[in-house]
Every structure is written in C-alpha cells, then in structure tokens.
C-alpha cells in the first residue's frame, strides 16, 4: 500500500464515499464490479459493456462504499453537467495487456475535469507476459504520474478474474475518501438526490434510481424537480431489492411513485426549490428540423440513461423525428413510416405483430446491444446519405432468434427467417456471417419460414425473441 497515503490519515469518514470506474470498453470494468460485489452478473453483460447506469453499496471492513456505474462518458458528462459532481473517488482502470487506449485518455480527461482523487487499477495482471511498467510509462505520457514514477497517484496491480489486489484497491479507496474528509450531510435540508437512472416500466410506470447527496429521504416524502412536484415516494428499494423506510447520504435507491420520468443528472428534492432551471436544462423538442444531408431516424432505448447518452452523441449527426424509452410499438412504426425514417433501437424488443406491421409499412428497424455499434451504424448511414451515387446499404431479410448455443466459446444463433432472405455474404448489424447452416449442412442462403443456425464475427449478444436484421451493399 502507498506509504505516503498511510502516513496522512485524517479523521473517520463522515459518510460513505461514492466511487465510479472509468476506462477503456474491454478493460474489465464489469468484471471488477462483479468481483467487488461477489455477484455473477459479468457473464451476462453484453460484450462486456455495462449498458445502463446502476448503483449499489458494499461493506468492507465495517465501512460502506457506494459504486455508481455509467454506460459511457457521454452519460457521465451529462450527470456532471446537470447535477454536479456525482462521485467522490474514481478508479481509472487500465488493462495490463493493452495499456493506455483512446478511451483511457478520454477517461483521464473526464476524471481530471471533476477534480476528484483517483487511483489507477492495472487489471489482467495475471496474464502471462504483461508489463506493468509499460502502463506507468504510457500514463506518464498522458499526464498521469503514479507513485514511484514521479507522481502521487496511487496504483494497484489487480486481477478482476482471480481477485488479486482487489482488497488493496478497496483499502486505497477508503483512504482517499478519508483524505477528502467527507461530511455527514444527513441533517441538511432540503434533502437532495441525483438521478442516476430512469425508465418507464409498462406496469409500474416511471421509475428512477436516486443517489442521495444530502439530507434524508423518507417514505411518503414528496419529490420536486425545482418547483414542480413530480410525485411521491410510495416505495424505496435498495440495491438488494429490500424495502427502505429512509435513505441517508450516499445511499442509492429506486423510487416508485413518480408521475414523470426524470432525466439522468436531474436533482430531486423533498421541498420545492425556489431556484430557476439552469441553462442547458430547458426542455427540448423531440422532433427536430429536417436536414436532407442527415439520415432520418426514430430512436428507442431501454432506459432514460441510455437514451440521453445516445442523444448526446448523435444529435448533430441525424434528423431525429422522435425519441423515447420503451419497446417498439405500432405508433413508432406509423410515425417512422410517415416521416420516412429508419428506427434504431438500443436494448429494446419488437413483437412479431409489430415486426409484421414494419414489414407492411416498409419501415427498417435495427436493434443494438452495444452502444458503439449503434454509433458505427449511424456513421455508415451518414456516409451513404452524403454519397449520392455511392454504394447503398439495403435490408435483405429479418429473422427471429429462437435459441443461443455456446460450443466451446463459439456462439451459434438458432433462428427462423420471418421476411426476405439471408445470404452468407450479408451482414447482421455490422457483423460478418462466418457460417450459415440449415438441416445440419452449410448453405449459401436461407429463406422465409426456414430455420437455420449462424455464427457471427464479432458475436452479438442477442436474446431469444430478438429480431436480427441482415443487410448488404448495393452498388
């Protein structure tokens, strides 16, 4: 453990520290969170990427630590812009085999912009042939100087897979938090909480995950967004799905009883605020002016946090006729049809009846499980839009995923064609078809109502019931 931290310990932490982890997309953030909370969730994450913001709390050596998890830097920036500093301590995660990557550099910029203390966690240290000193050099070249290498930023070598160094990482987090002398703000009023996740549940209605910043929220408290009452706390549920009667500072909880879906980064209080809406938080229309040089899309996402992260990135790249949270509906198809728009979905579903309507209305729908693939696909749409005589991406077929098999690490998707046909030369949402089989034989194409199996490079984490879309390039 770094000696210069141990020698300067102040008084006990007044409230639990709030920690966020930032780093490159495949450097092991989800695996580290899984190791810390001892829950088998990492295996289920799509592409190793956490898609939506969450929060939970652990207790380590008698002290609580709250972790918040963001789907990407866009949402992290939105939280910081709208609600102020969300975390007290950051972990900069760097894989020992890759070292500093482009998103690592973005993470460094985000962490520095907040001014919060951080620790570098060098992951995958258990892999053969890795060189941690290379990470230190690359970090120094990007303005991060770790202890023993010309600076005072603590660095811990870890393995999220085996647990090596994780205890030391947690100890350093607590030490950094103690140096911050976090205050117990439970007596302050009004009670204030940061929205770190929100969604619209089809049965329950508006849901939000809140992180208490100050004061104490209690069951039956009214909730206000500035002067507007947006509901009442009917139920408070913690990260273990247990019911709470009150929530103190640094406590994450899900609230039921909202009348509206708040935005990620909104600050909710238990007393109406006399303040005005800050610049940048004014409501924005969901229908934007048409731009013939931009692709026209209708955007759907699973939760508000994902939707805001995507909109924050693509708003200048597309003509967005409508955007909302939830699965694809008949209304979405009709809206897209009237606007001649393509529907892009993120972690959403489409029923067979709605898919049939889309086929009738000739509305193209593409669903994505990984946020960066959506961005890449939109970039392809832009390039296709601006090159009038160039190659065009056309849809060739749609298939429903029936089952997913894992044969020694090879993912095979069992499907049935519901429209058009799928050829071995097509692409499935930017992934290449490496194998196409029907009746246990390799084939060149499959047609409507035919069951088949295929493998993709790279794999896409579809779920049974999802609709996959095949496309080809037309000269």
Query: Cα–Cα distance between 35 and 160 in angstroms, integer?
Result: 6
Spell 252-261 as b/e; 16+ CB within 10 A means b. Answer: bbbbbbbebb
Lateral strand order in the sheet of 89-95? 54-60, 63-69, 18-23, 89-95, 118-123, 155-157
**Per CATH, domain 192-269 is 3.10.290.10:** no
- 54 forms beta bridges with 69
Give the pLDDT of residue 393.
66
pLDDT of residue 144: 94
Helix (H, G, I), strand (E, B) or coil at 13: coil
Distance between CA atoms of 122 and 156, rounded to whole angstroms? Answer: 6
Evaluate whether 452 touches 436 at the Cβ level (below 8 Å).
yes
Q: What is the pTM of this model?
A: 0.58
Q: What is the DSSP string of 284-304?
A: --SSPPP-TTS-EEEEEESSH
CA within 13 Å, CB half, 415: 30
Query: Residue by residue, what is the 3-state secondary structure of 211-244?
Result: EEEECCEECCCEEEECCEEEEEEEEEECCCCCEE
- Cβ partners under 8 Å of residue 255, min gap 6: 207, 208, 209, 210, 223, 231, 233, 235, 236
Backbone angles phi, psi at 338, to 5 degrees: -70, -30
Neighbour tally for 245: CB within 10 Å: 9
**Residue 276 and residue 322 in contact, taking contact as beta carbons nearer than 8 Å:** no
pLDDT 10s per residue in the chain (475 long)? 444 444 444 444 589 999 988 888 778 888 898 888 774 344 444 444 334 447 888 889 889 999 987 655 455 555 554 444 678 999 999 999 989 988 888 888 888 877 889 999 999 999 998 988 899 999 999 999 999 888 999 999 999 999 999 999 999 999 999 998 888 889 988 999 988 888 777 677 788 889 999 999 999 999 998 788 999 999 998 887 788 999 999 999 999 899 888 877 788 999 876 444 443 333 333 333 333 468 889 999 988 878 887 887 787 788 888 888 888 988 888 888 878 889 999 988 888 888 888 888 889 998 888 777 788 788 888 766 544 444 456 788 888 999 999 887 788 999 999 988 999 989 887 788 989 999 888 999 999 999 999 998 878 878 888 888 888 876 5
The CA distances from residue 320 to 42, 71, 338, 375, 378, in Å, are: 33, 21, 13, 14, 12
Would you tell me which CATH number, out of the four given (3.40.50.300, 1.10.10.10, 3.40.190.10, 3.30.479.10), belongs to the domain 3-180? 3.40.50.300
How would DSSP label each residue in 188-209?
-SS-EEEEEEEEEETTTEEEEE
- Picking from 340, 370, 354, 341, the residue whose alpha carbon sits closest to that of residue 419 is 354
**Contact yes or no for 132/148 (Cβ under 8 A):** no
Hey, what are 166's tokens?
A: 């994780």
Superfamily holding 296-474 = Translation initiation factor IF- 2, domain 3 (3.40.50.10050)
CATH 2.40.30.10 domain locations along the chain = 192-269
Q: For residues 5 and 179, is the Cβ–Cβ distance under 8 A?
A: yes
Do the Cβ atoms of 20 and 67 come closer than 8 Å? Answer: yes
CA–CA separation, 352 and 398 (whole Å):
11
The DSSP letter of residue 47 is G
Dihedrals phi, psi of 156, to nearest 5 degrees = -130, 130
**Numbers of helices and strands, H then E, in the chain:** 10, 27
Give the Cα separation of 385 and 266 in Å (integer).
36
Q: Is 283 exposed, middle or buried (0-12, 13-18, 19+ CB in 10 A)?
A: exposed
Residue limits of CATH 3.40.50.10050 in the chain: 296-474
Cα distance between residue 431 and residue 435, in whole Å: 12
State the span(s) of the chain assigned CATH 3.40.50.300. 3-180
- For the beta carbon of residue 444, count every other beta carbon within 10 angstroms: 8
Question: Exposure of 271 by Cβ count < 10 A (0-12 exposed, 13-18 middle, 19+ buried)?
Answer: middle
């Amino acid at each position: 453990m770094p000696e210069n931290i141990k020698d300067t310990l102040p008084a006990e932490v007044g409230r639990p520290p709030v920690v966020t982890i930032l780093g490159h997309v495949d450097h092991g953030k989800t695996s580290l969170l899984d190791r810390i909370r001892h829950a088998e969730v990492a295996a289920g994450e799509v592409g190793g990427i956490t898609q939506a913001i969450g929060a939970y709390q652990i207790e380590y050596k008698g002290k609580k630590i709250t972790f918040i998890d963001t789907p990407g830097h866009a949402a992290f920036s939105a939280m910081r812009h709208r609600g102020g500093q969300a975390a007290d301590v950051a972990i900069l995660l760097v894989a020992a085999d890759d070292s500093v990557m482009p998103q690592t550099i973005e993470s460094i910029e985000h962490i520095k912009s907040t001014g919060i203390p951080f620790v570098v966690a060098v992951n995958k240290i258990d892999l053969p042939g890795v060189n941690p000193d290379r990470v230190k050099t690359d970090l120094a070249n990007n303005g991060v100087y770790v202890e023993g290498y010309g600076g005072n930023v603590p660095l811990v070598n870890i393995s999220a897979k085996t647990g090596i160094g994780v205890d030391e990482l947690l100890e350093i987090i607590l030490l950094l938090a103690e140096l911050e002398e976090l205050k117990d703000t439970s007596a302050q009023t009004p009670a204030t909480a940061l929205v770190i996740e929100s969604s619209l549940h089809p049965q329950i209605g508006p849901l939000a995950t809140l992180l208490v910043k100050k004061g104490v929220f209690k069951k039956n408290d009214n909730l206000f967004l500035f002067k507007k009452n947006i509901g009442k706390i009917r139920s408070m549920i913690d990260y273990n799905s247990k019911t709470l009667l009150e929530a103190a500072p640094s406590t994450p909880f899900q609230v039921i009883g909202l009348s509206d879906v708040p935005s990620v980064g909104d600050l909710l209080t238990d007393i109406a605020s006399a303040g005005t809406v800050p610049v940048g938080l004014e409501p924005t229309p969901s229908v934007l002016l048409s731009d013939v040089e931009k692709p026209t899309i209708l955007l759907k996402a699973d939760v508000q946090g994902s939707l805001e992260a995507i909109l924050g990135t693509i708003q200048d790249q597309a003509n967005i006729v409508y955007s909302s949270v939830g699965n694809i509906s008949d209304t979405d198809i009709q809206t897209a049809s009237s606007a001649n728009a393509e529907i892009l979905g993120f972690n959403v579903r489409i029923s067979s009846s709605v898919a049939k309507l889309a086929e009738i209305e000739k509305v193209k729908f593409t669903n994505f499980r990984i946020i960066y693939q959506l961005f890449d696909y939109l970039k392809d749409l832009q390039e296709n839009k601006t090159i009038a005589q160039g190659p065009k991406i056309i849809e060739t077929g749609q298939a429903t995923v029936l089952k997913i098999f894992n044969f020694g690490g090879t993912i095979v998707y069992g499907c049935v064609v519901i429209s058009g046909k799928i050829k071995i030369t097509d692409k499935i949402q930017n992934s290449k078809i490496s194998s196409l089989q029907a009746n246990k034989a390799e084939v060149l194409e499959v047609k409507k109502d035919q069951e088949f199996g295929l493998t993709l490079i790279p794999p896409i984490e579809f779920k049974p019931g999802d609709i996959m879309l095949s496309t080809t390039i037309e000269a």
